[in-house]
Structure 1
Amino acid sequence: MIRKLFGVAIAGAAFIAPSVTAHAAPAADWQRVGDGITSGISGIVVDGRDGDAVDTLAVRDNKNPGENRLVAVRYGPDAAPRVRPVQWSGELPVDLEALDAVPGRDHEYVALASSGTAYRIHVEKGAARVLAAFPLPGISSDGNYEGFALTATKEGIVAVWADRGQDDRPAKLSAATWDPATNAFGPHDSAHFSAPYPDEDVRHVSDVKVSAAGDLTVSSASDPGDDGPYDSALYDAGRLSVGDDGHAQLSVSDKPHRLAAFSGHKVEALACLPGSHEGIVGTDDENDGGSVAAADFCRP
């Protein structure tokens, strides 16, 4: 159980019904993965298991040469997380905000920068090699893209991504089929999403994940500055489907169901254990570094 790897379970404290006042996850449930503004986590993916340990990869939104972009993080039931920098070989990205695995391709991932540029990478033996860099369709010069997910369907792989939005400007979720052989996208569909909470300094989508059935889970977060204070929530935001024409379609709720709330942390990263309700949330708490915790928010 991934819950055991983080000490005390947070599910009972952080998993809430929409009508219940948001509760903070207990401090003991968070495990620190780095101190300072260059050590936050902005995207995370489960990379494998070794007994009770879970291996993950996580991106960091660093912008300057010499600053780490990708880390391997291993969690065990009786020790603090082990964090190892992964060497980046190829075009150096600026401000990575999301990460997901390429379905059916071992050791391949797509990392997304806030500009809307996607980096397809192969990660093995402590090194990441850039295979290709390409823009997502329909991106705008004033967008700030923080969420990205890939999911396998019977019609092929579908990508979902999000411009985070800000305060009165809702997030914009988009989806399209994606061909891993060519990195080409099909026609894309878009829909807007607004988080009811947090209600100040809000980024409506800070990450997105898609279940095998097409359920959309998003994180939302407040960000008043590098010293916080931060608050975050997870939502059932709607559904992804693929029409008879093979085009991706989004159905986004205007009254989203809140799955969890977290006080004192800026959640920017979501990952799920395959076939499980158990997942991992990662934070970019700016000057306070990065942390991870377990939560039962996934829908296999």
Structure 2
Amino acid sequence: MITRAIGVAVLGVALLAPTTATAQEHAPTAASRPGTGGWQRVGDGMTAGISGLAVEDRHGAAVDLVGVRDNKEPGQNRLVAIGLRPGAAPRVRPLDWVGPLPVDLEAIDAVPGRPHEFLALASGGTAYRVVRDGDTARVLGTFRLPDVSPDANYEGFALSVLRGRTVAVWADRGQDDRPATLFAAAWNPADNSLGAPVSARFRVPYPAAHVRHASDVKAAADGRLTVSSAADPGNDGPFASALYDAGRVTVSRTGRIGLTVSDAPHRLATVSGHKVEGLACLPGSRAGILGSDDENDGGSVAVARFCRP
């Protein structure tokens, strides 16, 4: 069943065929896979988790990523560059943050058509537009999401260009009995303004306990949405996650934003032992990168086939 987005009804979303494979079983072949396969550590301890991921560049099998860390204190790293190369451990370079210091960054995506520019989202609803220049991330501007709820905790963010319009999608994670809420709105990169959002609630069947129904979201070129969910029982786990085909964001011929979300989302993959909080897809490929924030056990990344080109 497809639910209606609040304020907009869009029907006819086609979900993918069922699969029971795990994220690891979705990995690309060795010839196309960056890194050595499986999970690879990119940081140790509480301040080194990955809360969101975005692709910065790709050259063949080499992939460069930017990740956010949900740190809250001055002096702690906010943004990290991660290089994946075949047969090698990840290259990890913390970036110096120049500008207003965020608290609890939880998501990030690349700005379409603007190399090395990103939008990073803090859990309280403030977005930071940054540009990377070598080992520095400089803030170009900040803005608040519309209609921020004091009870919300925003953990997912995505940008996509549909019918020539840049569309932002973001998610309040939800918690246990409280479902996540997905939002979509047009975003104007000229002035960082967002249009009136549409929204829809989203709930997953797995994980079943200590669940954050949306720990990240990414949008494909056709607007289809992939959402990660995660179980977080505490700083030492045990963690579990899943990836879902959640629905779709659309733009009508008149420029109206639509959002559909499934009442029974199809599970694309199950991940054991990691709290997936970051999703990134390689352009034009089914291959993507998962990022985990495993609290006391630090952060890791893995390649998996979950994207829709």
State how far apart, in whole Å, the 2-side matches of 1:125 and 1:218 are: 31
Could you tell me whether the CA contact under 8 Å between 2:185 and 2:198 is conserved in 1? yes
State how far apart, in whole Å, the 1-side matches of 2:259 and 2:233 are: 30
Residue in structure 2 matched with residue 39 of structure 1 by the alignment: 48
Superposed, 1:260-271 pairs within 5 Å as 260-271=269-280
Structure 1: which amino acid aligns with 2:117? E
- Which of 217, 223, 227 is 1:218 aligned to? 227
State how far apart, in whole Å, the 2-side matches of 1:75 and 1:297 are: 18
What is the CA-CA distance between 1:129 and the residue it aligns to? 0.7
Could you tell me whether the CA contact under 8 Å between 1:171 and 1:204 is conserved in 2? yes
Deviations 1:135-175 (A, max 9, x none): 01121111100000000112410000000000000000000
State how far apart, in whole Å, the 1-side matches of 2:45 and 2:243 are: 25
State how far apart, in whole Å, the 2-side matches of 1:185 and 1:35 are: 37
What is the CA-CA distance between 1:243 and the residue it aligns to? 2.7
State how far apart, in whole Å, the 2-side matches of 1:265 and 1:51 are: 28
Segments of 5+ residues of structure 2 without an aligned counterpart are 1-15, 26-35
Deviations 1:170-214 (A, max 9, x none): 000000001010111111100000011000000000000000111
Structure 1: which amino acid aligns with 2:58? R
- Which of 50, 55, 68 is 2:77 aligned to? 68
Bigger mean CA offset, 25-34 vs 228-237? 25-34
Could you tell me whether the CA contact under 8 Å between 2:37 and 2:303 is conserved in 1? no
What is the CA-CA distance between 1:124 and the residue it aligns to? 1.4
Could you tell me whether the CA contact under 8 Å between 2:19 and 2:268 is conserved in 1? no
Segments of 5+ residues of structure 1 without an aligned counterpart are 1-15
Deviations 1:59-118 (A, max 9, x none): 100000110000101111121101001110000000000000111112111000000100
- Which of 151, 155, 160 is 1:151 aligned to? 160
Q: Normalised by the size of structure 1, how large is the TM-score?
A: 0.91
Could you tell me whether the CA contact under 8 Å between 2:251 and 2:257 is conserved in 1? yes
Identical residues among aligned pairs (%): 64
Residue in structure 1 matched with residue 32 of structure 2 by the alignment: none
Structure 2: which amino acid aligns with 1:108? E
Q: Normalised by the size of structure 2, how large is the TM-score?
A: 0.88
State how far apart, in whole Å, the 2-side matches of 1:32 and 1:120 are: 27
Residue in structure 1 matched with residue 196 of structure 2 by the alignment: 187
Superposed, 1:45-84 pairs within 5 Å as 45-84=54-93
What is the CA-CA distance between 1:51 and the residue it aligns to? 4.6
State how far apart, in whole Å, the 1-side matches of 2:148 and 2:109 are: 19
Structure 2: which amino acid aligns with 1:135? R
Instruction: Give the root-mean-square deviation of aligned CA atoms.
Output: 1.7
What is the CA-CA distance between 1:238 and the residue it aligns to? 0.4
Number of aligned positions between the proteins: 284
Deviations 1:221-262 (A, max 9, x none): 000110100000000000111134422111000011100000
Residue in structure 1 matched with residue 244 of structure 2 by the alignment: 235
Structure 2: which amino acid aligns with 1:86? L
What's the secondary structure of 1:38's corresponding residue? helix
State how far apart, in whole Å, the 1-side matches of 2:264 and 2:63 are: 34
- Which of 101, 104, 120 is 2:113 aligned to? 104
State how far apart, in whole Å, the 1-side matches of 2:59 and 2:258 are: 37
State how far apart, in whole Å, the 2-side matches of 1:51 and 1:24 are: 22
Could you tell me whether the CA contact under 8 Å between 1:186 and 1:247 is conserved in 2? no
Could you tell me whether the CA contact under 8 Å between 1:234 and 1:261 is conserved in 2? yes
